[in-house]
Structure 1
Amino acid sequence: MRRLLVLGLVAVLALTGCGGGTVAETIAGTTTSPQDSNFVYVSNLDVITDWDPATSYSNEVIAMQNVYDSLTVYNPVTKRAGARLATRWTSSSDGKTWTFTLRDGVKFHTGRPVDAASVKASIERTKRLAGGAAYIWDCVQNITVRDPLTVEFTLKYPAPLDLIASADYSAYIYDTAAAGSGDLTKWFQQGKDAGSGPYTVGTWKKGQRTELTLRAFEGYWGGWDGAHYKNIEFRVTPNLNTAWQQLLRGEVSFVQRLNPALYHKAEMTAGVRTLQVPSFQNMLVLLNSASGPLKDIRLRQAVQKAIDYDGLITALKGAGATANGLVPEGLLGHSSKVAPKQDIPGATALLQQAGYGPGGKQLQLTLTYAQGDDDEQVLVDQLTQTLGQLNVHVNALAMQWNAQWDQGKSKDPTKRQDIFVMYWWPDYADAYSWFLNVFHSGEPVSFNLTYLKSKALDSQIDKLPSLVATDRSAAEKAYFELQRTLIDQNAVVAVPWVSNYQRAYLGNVQGYTDNPAYPNVVFVHDLIPGG
């Protein structure tokens, strides 16, 4: 059914030079032709939530970025947008007119051409459906087809459209005619695709261990000369120890994340490559400000103060770095002046003011977090233990993402959790995504899982794109003030750390690099399978 590319000890030592210190464990097996080999990606969460490239906004990014192209792609070295479907672009002096020139001869997986008309059609459909990260196109007033390979955007206000066009979600260009006269949304949700990327959907089995397979699209504009992985499998393995054993047996190629103990093992294992890199992804502890006991701001503040921020960084052993507010280092809006510290006496006093805590009533809280995420488990264990000592009982539930998110979005406020633990990362290399998606008022509930509603705050958030494009100094100040408002004044969020990605993959996988603008994505076509 599938052939695995694995290495024996001799080949590992001769070709990869991976691991360090002593050889703790080795990978053994047989080697198949690199041209026919599978790349097997292990995730601890369900892969597909939404198949529609217009509205997709979750874990499926790891697959979608291998199926769909955007106009540009973010280059983490230059910190600028680079060519993808567009080979070049220009903007007017006022930043309100952008012209993109497309690659010639590119085809969708459906066989139809990728041209200026299809770019216009896909972006306009994404805007019209207004799901996922479609807000990235809010600045666009008109899209004009100048010729088959030239598309012009007229903006309502100045914006960095080349960077926006590289977003990890909702920037996908797709064939809007793929379903013919049928319903395109329903067509997509059957597990079909209409992209122009290197891979197309092979099989999709929701809820199965191997949830998704992709196969090479032979007509891909980037070509298939030389050695490439022709197939990708996405396997769901919530238990990280199981995932590690699968890697050791050569059954999988890449483990998205490991806990610190397993990562240390991986560093010492011949035949395994490791990579630890800083990210734009942070851990959020979202506090329910609309219903339940945490509607009392004193109790939200007490939870914030109970978190042992420094202790978590130590416990994560390299998997996390100190967070300074909501915006990770490397993005506009980061400030070292927002540094949280644990304050048990302060937490105790706030609990007692609200009638809880030591000597008072026991406070009951519900918390949801991701099943199989050992870093989140460290946070939850620490927080439940600390709060337990303050007469606060936390009922913590480990859940698969879809179930956790569904509970958070429940139309019945009484069914929602008090504390929602999740990761967040920007939709493109700017911090706007945190503020618009997680903290802006909105119905129905999506990712605004603190349920905060503030017209004044919404107005501040809405001004950010124009400030970023026209006055970066003012934007920097606005980001700082918004973080103080959310963390200190409204106490709706705590940010325990910024993630350092800890990857492990087979030593014969060559050419892998990590792009922080596309969290957890492996651009598999760029890899070289080694024999």
Structure 2
Amino acid sequence: MRRSARLIAIGVAALTALALTACSGGEVRGVRSGDTSSALPASGKVRESTFVYVQNLEVVTEWDPAVSYSNEIIAMQNIYESLTIYNPVTRKAGPRLATSWTASPDSKTWTFTLRSGAKFHSGRVVDSSAVKSSIERTMRLGAAPSYIWDSVDTITTPDANTVVFNLKYPEALDMMASASYAAYIYDTEAAKNEDLGKWFAQGNDAGSGPYRVAKWQKGKEAELRLTAFEEYWGGWEGLKYKNIEFRVVQEHNTAWQLLQRGEATFIGRLTPQLFDRAADVGGIRTMQVPSFQTMLMLFNSASGPMQDIRVRKAVQKAIDYPGVIRALKGAGAPASGLVPESMLGYKKGQEPVEDLAGAQELLTQAGYGPGRELRLTLTYAAGDDDQRVLATLLTSMLARVNITLDARAMSWEAQWGLGKSKDTGKRQDIFVMYWWPDVANPYSWFVNLVHSGDPVNFNLTYIKNAQLDEKIQKLPALTATNRRAAQDAYEDLQHEVIEERALMAVPWVVNYQRAYAGGVRHYTDNPAYPNVVFVHSVSPSA
């Protein structure tokens, strides 16, 4: 749902790459010493300058940058830019479209100075009025990710290069402005006399980033192609990829073959077996890095058998968590609560524990157990090998306590549509999905997943509790004014959500296992922007 500071327009990509490499914590393997294989075959200048990103899910589900909240992040973060960007070295916000900012002592007034020379793809200058118009439209549309601007009361523009935010309550707005969704700055006048939302839906962009949309083919393997925006403020000096192609390949073996043949540059995820194999292949790099991304099993607390908290707790206890981690072969690490390590709110030692006897006792109390079978439905993403492994293992684990699990692989759109269905009888009992933060703090897990929502969006546990909502709503101000109190509040909320209310289980935190062409230089992961390759900041070999 997430680069280091860009300090000056010239030479900034190399600075970014070096800063990130110093702190990525990832293990890079698989390139033999001295190997400078090019990212793609030297069959022509266009192919040589194309970065081919292969993934197993559809890229674009929503084109409007004010509404986008899904897989298209991997493209959007190359098309659009935000005022600031999360720097994993400092764990603070760094410059992007804004070069500097100040906050009042009470953190309720924030003043941003904009970068000189930045332009939208339409040719319009990225000035304060354009920034104000963009953010106000995002706020007005009120789509799920727009909550990042909830603290904003008014926006004023004293001059063309200055934007002032007056807040309703204290908040670290520099961090919110670096969010991976809804912080995009875009040209609200790009569609001219057309409806902007409809214009976006046709595959048009109004971006401020290094690449613009060249071609979109919904449902095709070569789904999306981006091309360089020549007037990008960061410049195109030196070796750069001038094009990006996003390809959708569901089979991991096929993706691996494309990489071996030089027809792919980057694969966001391989199976553990292929990942290990890739490490021994010349001309291919592999990287394993920890992430902020968690795997979630969201329990339907509003309808069906999991309305009973005893059933939800029994399912939690029936899971062999270490067994799941072993089966992932490095692709997952144990979760200690909902919040990943190195983030505010993380508490060590909260890893869940299997308790089959306890699960059986709870099911018996609920009227199930050896004498009465319990049937549950679970949905997960088709094409995701890790989710398939989880569903397979869960089927066996729950069978030990006489729970029959109907696990269904579905496209994300179909799965999500089922979860949001107004017919509560159609909703799944267990919804498997990933979550990563919109900002590099834990707030998005709570405001999206367990805050009351009507209509349902990502609150797929269907909890509606005013007291819980009130606790969640206090978190932004608490984070800005008293981080020790915020840490305590996040710890308490995790205990309430997972232990007391049993709304979900957290089987693991994702370890990213990447494979990419050996000729790609300066690539690194920024955990605040999962699965994103900032292509302007990497370069091909000469």
Could you tell me which residue of structure 1 aligns to residue 127 of structure 2? Answer: 115
**C-alpha contact (below 8 Å) 1:280/1:328 kept by paired residues:** yes
Could you tell me which residue of structure 2 aligns to residue 228 of structure 1? Answer: 240
Aligned pair partner of 1:336 in 326, 345, 348: 348
Q: For residue 351 of structure 2, what is the amino acid of its counterpart?
A: A
| 1:337 positional shift | 3.8
Could you tell me which residue of structure 1 aligns to residue 375 of structure 2? Answer: 364
| 1:313 positional shift | 1.6
Could you tell me which residue of structure 2 aligns to residue 373 of structure 1? Answer: 384
Pairs within 5 Å for 1:171-182: 171-182=183-194
Matched, 1:270 2:282: yes
Could you tell me which residue of structure 2 aligns to residue 5 of structure 1? Answer: none
Could you tell me which residue of structure 1 aligns to residue 442 of structure 2? Answer: 431
| 1:331 positional shift | 0.8
Matched, 1:397 2:408: yes
| Aligned equivalents of 2:237, 2:40: Cα separation in 1 | 29
| Aligned equivalents of 1:205, 1:492: Cα separation in 2 | 39
Q: Deviations 1:125-164 (Å, cap 9, x if unpaired)?
A: 1111111311111111111101111111111121111111
Matched, 1:470 2:481: yes
Matched, 1:345 2:357: yes
| 1:15 positional shift | 3.8
Aligned residues: 512
Percent of aligned positions with the same letter in both sequences? 62
Pairs within 5 Å for 1:249-268: 249-268=261-280
Aligned pair partner of 2:111 in 91, 95, 99: 99
**C-alpha contact (below 8 Å) 1:313/1:321 kept by paired residues:** yes
Matched, 1:498 2:509: yes
Change (3 A) 1:355 1:17: farther
| Aligned equivalents of 1:83, 1:15: Cα separation in 2 | 35
| 1:33 positional shift | 3.9
Change (3 A) 1:98 1:28: closer
Pairs within 5 Å for 1:477-496: 477-496=488-507
Aligned pair partner of 2:81 in 69, 84, 91: 69
Q: Deviations 1:387-431 (Å, cap 9, x if unpaired)?
A: 123221111111121111111111111111110000001111110
Could you tell me which residue of structure 2 aligns to residue 130 of structure 1? Answer: 142
Q: Deviations 1:260-306 (Å, cap 9, x if unpaired)?
A: 11111111111110111110100000010011111111111111111
| Aligned equivalents of 1:31, 1:226: Cα separation in 2 | 20
| Aligned equivalents of 2:249, 2:382: Cα separation in 1 | 10
| 1:473 positional shift | 1.3
| Aligned equivalents of 1:250, 1:141: Cα separation in 2 | 51
Matched, 1:16 2:27: no
Change (3 A) 1:138 1:485: same
| Aligned equivalents of 2:223, 2:315: Cα separation in 1 | 37
Aligned pair partner of 2:219 in 200, 207, 212: 207
Aligned pair partner of 1:452 in 463, 479, 483: 463
Aligned pair partner of 1:162 in 170, 174, 186: 174
Matched, 1:512 2:523: yes
| 1:357 positional shift | 2.3
Matched, 1:324 2:343: no
- What is the TM-score when the length of structure 1 is the normalising length? 0.94
Q: Deviations 1:62-81 (Å, cap 9, x if unpaired)?
A: 00000001001111111111
Change (3 A) 1:478 1:14: closer
Change (3 A) 1:17 1:27: closer
Query: Which has the larger displacement, 31-40 or 446-455?
Result: 31-40
Matched, 1:309 2:321: yes
| 1:82 positional shift | 1.0
| Aligned equivalents of 1:345, 1:268: Cα separation in 2 | 44
**C-alpha contact (below 8 Å) 1:34/1:529 kept by paired residues:** no
**C-alpha contact (below 8 Å) 1:34/1:530 kept by paired residues:** no
| Aligned equivalents of 1:114, 1:395: Cα separation in 2 | 51
Could you tell me which residue of structure 2 aligns to residue 244 of structure 1? Answer: 256
| Aligned equivalents of 2:107, 2:508: Cα separation in 1 | 35
Q: Deviations 1:211-245 (Å, cap 9, x if unpaired)?
A: 11111111111111111111111111122122112
Aligned pair partner of 1:296 in 305, 308, 329: 308
Change (3 A) 1:490 1:171: same
Give the 3-state SS of the residue equivalent to 1:386 in structure 2: helix
**Which ranges in structure 2 are unaligned for 5 or more consecutive residues?**
1-30
Give the 3-state SS of the residue equivalent to 1:133 in structure 2: helix
Give the 3-state SS of the residue equivalent to 1:126 in structure 2: helix
**C-alpha contact (below 8 Å) 2:41/2:263 kept by paired residues:** no
| Aligned equivalents of 2:215, 2:316: Cα separation in 1 | 44
**C-alpha contact (below 8 Å) 1:34/1:229 kept by paired residues:** no
| Aligned equivalents of 1:331, 1:300: Cα separation in 2 | 27
| 1:355 positional shift | 2.1
Q: For residue 59 of structure 2, what is the amino acid of its counterpart?
A: V
Give the 3-state SS of the residue equivalent to 2:491 in structure 1: helix
| Aligned equivalents of 2:39, 2:405: Cα separation in 1 | 42
Change (3 A) 1:185 1:339: same
Aligned pair partner of 2:432 in 421, 436, 456: 421
Q: For residue 475 of structure 1, what is the amino acid of its counterpart?
A: A
| Aligned equivalents of 2:34, 2:149: Cα separation in 1 | 46
**C-alpha contact (below 8 Å) 2:39/2:540 kept by paired residues:** no
Give the 3-state SS of the residue equivalent to 1:516 in structure 2: coil
**C-alpha contact (below 8 Å) 1:132/1:169 kept by paired residues:** no
| Aligned equivalents of 2:196, 2:39: Cα separation in 1 | 45
Q: Deviations 1:153-190 (Å, cap 9, x if unpaired)?
A: 11112111111111000000000111112211111111
| 1:121 positional shift | 0.4
| Aligned equivalents of 2:71, 2:55: Cα separation in 1 | 9
Q: For residue 119 of structure 1, what is the amino acid of its counterpart?
A: V
Matched, 1:143 2:162: no
| Aligned equivalents of 2:492, 2:532: Cα separation in 1 | 32
**C-alpha contact (below 8 Å) 1:35/1:228 kept by paired residues:** no
| 1:17 positional shift | 7.5
Change (3 A) 1:177 1:308: same
| Aligned equivalents of 2:282, 2:250: Cα separation in 1 | 25
Query: Which has the larger displacement, 120-129 or 34-43?
Result: 34-43
Give the 3-state SS of the residue equivalent to 2:144 in structure 1: coil
The structure 1 segments of at least 4 consecutive aligned residues displaced by more than 3 Å after TM superposition are 12-15, 26-36
Q: For residue 182 of structure 1, what is the amino acid of its counterpart?
A: E
Matched, 1:284 2:296: yes
| Aligned equivalents of 1:31, 1:164: Cα separation in 2 | 44
Change (3 A) 1:348 1:188: same
